[in-house]
Amino acid sequence: QVQLVESGGGLVQPGGSLRLSCTFSGSSFMSFAMGWYRQAPGKQRELVANISSGKITNYADSVKGRFTISRDNALAMVYLQMTSLKPEDTAVYYCNAHFGPMDYWGKGTLVTVSS
């Protein structure tokens, strides 16, 4: 019923920037809080940032001041603008939609920060 598709991942140098996009297809986008999670090699999946339908945001301490999450409710899209990227940001980034017992995930997009 809900499908999430991420785009925008790739290779970037330390200190660089990248913008990830997530397209939501299905019904009731406004019912969902949206988020970005990431999973680095050998580590558990962790929250990067999330945003409510009213655009209230929350960030992991590790990315505060560097990443910005946003959503376009008219287009049913969510974005993650990443700046000042560090090698430790290297991970597969996943788009998430959450509402009550509903939890949907995209397939992920790989971000590699390396010189």
Do residues 51 and 78 make contact, with C-beta atoms less than 8 angstroms apart? yes
Q: How many CB atoms lie within 10 A of CB 102?
A: 12
The pLDDT score that the predictor gives to residue 83 is 98
Q: Provide the β-strand partners of residue 101.
A: none
Q: Please list the pLDDT of the chain residue by residue as tens digits (115 residues).
A: 899 999 999 999 999 999 999 999 999 999 999 999 999 999 999 999 999 999 999 999 999 999 999 999 999 999 999 999 999 999 999 999 999 999 999 999 999 999 9
